[in-house]
Amino acid sequence: MNLTDHKTLASQLLDHADAVRREVAPRLALKRKSELGQFMTPAPVARFMASLFPPATLQTCRLLDAGAGIGALTCAFLDRWSAAVGLDFQNVEVEVHEIDTPLRAHLEIALATYAERLPLTYQVFPSDFILEAACRRMQTSRRFTHAILNPPYKKINSASEHRLILRHAGIETVNLYSAFVALTLTLMQPGGQLVAIIPRSFCNGPFYRPFRTFLLRHAALMHIHLFASRSKAFKDDDVLQENVIIRLERAGSQGNVTISNSGDETFADLSTHEHPFDRIVFPDDPEQFIHVPTSLGRNAIELAPEIRFSLQDIGISVSTGPVVDFRLLEHIQQKPTTGTVPLLYPGHFIGCAAQWPGEGMKRGNAINLNAATKKWLYPNGFYAVARRFSAKEERRRIVASVVTPAAFPNASMLGFENHLNVFHEDKHGLPESLAHGLAAFLNTTAVDDHFRRFNGHTQVNATDLRLMKYPSRQALIALGKWARAQSQLTQAMLDDQLKKLAE
């Protein structure tokens, strides 16, 4: 078979795999899909992922695809090899893992077809990849040169067998996708290339800190691709997580990082830039958050030397709202009455102020003030609050408002529900101008843009807000005095005032 025939065959096989994906995915039992965390890769995404591998001239490529599904990623890799586009191997040895029997049948057919026409050998493992990899990670022979992954997305129970096995292997993580990536790295030879599409949630937050530490200790971060839409990469599977594609080099030398962006899985508007690693992981960040800049320029938060203070430096704390309503349902009232105090939900905040009581609130507007609830309440006062969750395609990730005591003239205490983040001083209110200044700062475009660089999901955690940098206390108070003096605040006014602060 000549090279042209190989190229034609390759394209046909991946297109066939994609047709199978579209046919099989809707028929997968939702319960089974949830149990395994299955989300199959569309052909355009698979082709793009295969294109990210750097040119190589190894005699033998040893490729791993863990959680291979119907084989779209392996097919895309073999297509690129057969088309002689930068991958000049004499032969390829493929190892794939797929625990789901119906998917494995499609996978074996695809690999057998390739093996008939290419210098390819393959093994298909039906076993649990975590168990298999944990047993093999200490072996030094026949390590993989390449890996391409769309791992399962599913939380790992803290007391599960998987969690214990991973811990024994020196991997502390909370989701199957990060476990697959970490274990794959342990099976690769130095210089080995790993390309994976995974949720962006690992980039920030305390739960993924051990995984980030493991990843950056064992590999160089070479490329991150970001989709502008949270839902487009796996639109056929109704996936709402924001996903990124990453390329890692096992034991590589960390240099600049390539950041690419596209609006969706067609990659029609693909843009690519290089950034210094210290713009991706800040050198002074103990949490090692991974930032994904969307432009070459630095925004006001990065440029302003005045924005360098922690909340602790300025004497402020931020906490998740302490009232968990389902645990206190018997004390929650739809209407405020004698013996109750206001209970504030995200729905009570329209714009920068609270609208209380709210019409049509599902849970209620008030909470009984008694011995069972008092420890969860804060004294009435000025507070800045930020919602913990944004809608799927909402324009802003951080939305901050100010709580003013005048809105609750007869209330001695306030309840903040768990879907709010509350800025306070030792569980008491803030000075009025400080609360307004903090909310104004959080509502600037620069802060929202900065936050999106390391936070890729709908949740705004108190930990994320705690680790951000802020202007000084005096600067926030001055910003608050300015904000209070305005009859109306627009986004342009807020952004312009932040620029003046940074000058």
pLDDT of residue 218: 96
Q: With b meaning 16 or more CB within 10 Å and e meaning fewer, what string describes 75-114?
A: bbbbbbbbbeeebebeebbbbbbbbbeebbebbeebbeeb
For residues 93 and 144, state if they share a domain: yes
Residue 368 lies in domain = 317-502
Query: Is 365 inside a domain boundary?
Result: yes
For residues 16 and 154, state if they share a domain: yes
Query: Is 305 inside a domain boundary?
Result: no
**pTM summary value:** 0.76
Instruction: Identify the CATH number of the domain in which residue 235 sits.
Output: 3.40.50.150
For residues 260 and 326, state if they share a domain: no
For residues 119 and 195, state if they share a domain: yes
Q: What is the largest CA-CA distance in the chain?
A: 86
Distance CA 149, CA 134 (A): 17
pLDDT of residue 397: 80
pLDDT of residue 70: 87
Query: Is 311 inside a domain boundary?
Result: no
For 75-180, strand residue ranges (E) read: 91-97, 120-125, 144-149
Query: Is 304 inside a domain boundary?
Result: no
Tens of each residue's pLDDT in the chain, 503 residues: 444 454 555 555 666 556 655 555 555 544 444 444 456 788 899 999 999 999 998 999 999 999 888 899 999 999 999 988 899 999 999 999 998 888 888 889 889 999 998 999 999 999 889 988 888 877 766 799 999 999 998 889 888 889 999 988 889 999 999 999 999 999 999 999 999 999 888 988 888 999 999 999 999 999 999 887 545 555 544 444 688 999 999 999 999 999 998 888 888 889 899 999 998 998 888 889 898 887 666 666 766 778 889 899 999 999 999 999 889 989 999 889 999 999 999 988 887 778 888 777 777 899 999 999 999 999 999 999 999 876 554 577 888 999 999 999 989 999 999 999 999 999 999 999 999 999 999 999 889 888 877 765 567 888 889 888 899 999 999 999 999 999 888 999 999 998 887 66
pLDDT of residue 303: 65
For residues 101 and 52, state if they share a domain: yes
Query: Is 148 inside a domain boundary?
Result: yes
Domain boundary among 269, 297, 325: 297
For residues 153 and 68, state if they share a domain: yes
For residues 136 and 232, state if they share a domain: yes
Cβ atoms within 10 Å of 176's Cβ, excluding its own = 21
For residues 322 and 377, state if they share a domain: yes
For residues 351 and 431, state if they share a domain: yes
pLDDT of residue 455: 67
Distance CA 316, CA 293 (A): 28
On whether the CB atoms of residues 244 and 200 are closer than 8 A, the answer is yes
3 state DSSP class of 166 = helix
pLDDT of residue 34: 47
Query: Is 309 inside a domain boundary?
Result: no
Distance of CA 231 to the CA centre of its chain: 13
For residues 53 and 89, state if they share a domain: yes
Domain boundary among 231, 262, 297: 297
Instruction: Identify the CATH number of the domain in which residue 365 sits.
Output: 3.90.220
Q: DSSP letter string over 34-91? A: HHHT--PPPHHHHHHHHHTSPPB--SEEEEEEET-TTSHHHHHHHHHHHTTSSB--SE
Question: Which residues does 342 contact at the CB level (< 8 Å), separation at least 6?
Answer: 336, 356, 357, 365, 366, 367, 408, 411, 414, 415
For residues 279 and 322, state if they share a domain: no
pLDDT of residue 242: 80
Distance CA 207, CA 465 (A): 15
Count of structural domains, the chain: 2
Question: Which residues does 29 contact at the CB level (< 8 Å), separation at least 6?
Answer: none
pLDDT of residue 229: 59
Cβ atoms within 10 Å of 362's Cβ, excluding its own = 9
Which one, of 146, 75, 70, 144, lies nearest residue 108 by Cα? 70
pLDDT of residue 394: 56
Query: Is 188 inside a domain boundary?
Result: yes
pLDDT of residue 173: 92
For residues 475 and 382, state if they share a domain: yes
pLDDT of residue 390: 66
Query: Is 98 inside a domain boundary?
Result: yes
